[in-house]
């Protein structure tokens, strides 16, 4: 009976692990596909250029590209999607909350380490909502941790120009 119970539990665990690995692959693939979308790339390039021109958070929030990115991500992921985009200078250039205190802000040391991986071309799945935030001084509501996917966004020359985070 013990061997039968152990075998049953082991099979159940293996099925659960396989299902979780499949879900992780699907989520990462979905975010990577959106990061490769020509429209998102164009709009991100415009925000990168706007940010490089020392634009304020207000200029970033009121840009047409900000609204287009939000519209696209809502269509792709649904009304509960949350996202952020950072440029190579580690400046927040897009955010789901459209908070001017976030847009134009730099990142925390935790965020810099994480974004360095993504800006090097790696797609990363990360647990979010703990004490550490990616954007410096980000004011987030205390809620349960959630899983987010970060992926590189490439320019026309296939160089990484930004990193996108999608969760929710």
Query: Could you report the per-residue pLDDT of 76-114, keeping only the tens digit for each?
Result: 998 889 899 999 999 999 988 866 678 888 888 888 999
- pLDDT at position 140: 57
pTM of the model: 0.86
pLDDT, residue 141, reads 56
Structure token pair of residue 97: 């909350």
Q: ∠ at Cα 142 (110, 111), nearest 5°?
A: 10
Asked if pLDDT for residue 143 goes beyond 70, the answer is no
Report the interhelical angle of 64-77 vs 2-35 (nearest 10°).
Answer: 150
Average pLDDT over residues 38-58: 85
Task: Burial-class residue 100 by CB neighbours within 10 Å (0-12, 13-18, 19+).
Answer: middle
């Amino acid at each position: 009976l013990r061997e039968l119970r152990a075998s049953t539990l082991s099979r159940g665990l293996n099925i659960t692990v396989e299902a979780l690995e499949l879900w992780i692959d699907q989520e990462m693939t979905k975010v990577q596909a959106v990061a490769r979308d020509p429209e998102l790339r164009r709009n991100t390039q415009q925000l990168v250029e706007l940010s490089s021109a020392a634009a304020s958070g207000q200029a970033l929030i009121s840009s047409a590209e900000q609204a287009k990115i939000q519209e696209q991500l809502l269509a792709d992921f649904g009304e509960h999607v949350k996202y952020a985009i950072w440029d190579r200078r580690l400046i927040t250039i897009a955010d789901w909350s459209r908070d001017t205190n976030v847009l134009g802000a730099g990142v925390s040391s935790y965020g810099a380490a994480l974004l360095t991986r993504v800006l090097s071309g790696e797609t990363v799945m990360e647990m979010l909502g703990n004490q550490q935030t990616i954007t410096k001084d980000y004011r987030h509501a205390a809620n349960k941790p959630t899983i987010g996917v970060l992926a590189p966004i490439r320019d026309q020359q296939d160089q990484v120009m930004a990193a996108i985070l999608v969760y929710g």
